[in-house]
Amino acid sequence: MLYEKERQEVVDTCKFMVAENLVVGTAGNVSIRIGDHVVISPSGVDYDTMTAEDVVVYDMNGEHVEGRLKPSSELPLHISVYEATDAQAITHNHAYASTALGLVVDEIPPSHYYSAMLGGIIRVAPYAEFGTDELAENVSKALEGRSGALMKNHGAITIGPDLKKAVNLLPILEYICEIHLRAMATGADIALLSDEQIDSAIVGMSSYGKQPALEEDN
């Protein structure tokens, strides 16, 4: 089976999204780019029963390479994002807070410095019907210089150099949205960070969690 390891990675990531309450039903999709090929979750398959064989492979022109099932309806979106960015993996979900916040803002105001983990103020891509070239174009623009974005009346998307880094941004994005929604619900003024503070946080986050390499004992 072509790309067996990567196809299993897609399955494991889908199951992680379910466990973390980041998807409802079979909504959402996951992919990995390998050269000119895209390994992507199938359409409408229950994540609990999904296997590596269910995951399909297409090329960057949207042509079928391997797999018996239909790909996610968002295959055009994934291909467009891969063409527009240096991403090697994509996760897309329909979690509650990110979907709700995308209904009421055109960007997530800088209310939490975690936004720096996604490259700065998080944009909301204008609505377009799922599976369309228009949606793919809107989302690709919203991701310029970012590793995550919201999709109006739809959900959220994160990207990364590998699937683990991409999916690990989804709970962070959901947290940012949840915090901002709760603050909005109070009706009080929300304390926002300045452009300079966000820029500083981006620099700080670039080395966050990186430990120095341990020297081997002689």
Which residues are catalytically annotated? 74
Cα–Cα–Cα angle for 169, 176, 121, rounded to 5 degrees: 85
CA separation for the pair 143, 160 (Å, rounded): 11
The beta-strand segments (E) located in 36-84 are: 37-40, 56-59, 64-66
Nearest Cα residue to 40 out of 15, 17, 69, 18: 69
Report which of 14, 158, 185 is spatially closest to residue 92, judged by C-alpha positions.
158
DSSP state of 189: P
- Contacts of residue 20, Cβ cutoff 8 Å, sequence gap at least 6: 170, 171
Instruction: Tell me the residue ranges of DSSP E strands in the chain.
Output: 29-34, 37-40, 56-59, 64-66, 89-93, 107-108, 122-125, 148-151, 155-160
Closest CA to 39 of 19, 9, 17, 16: 9
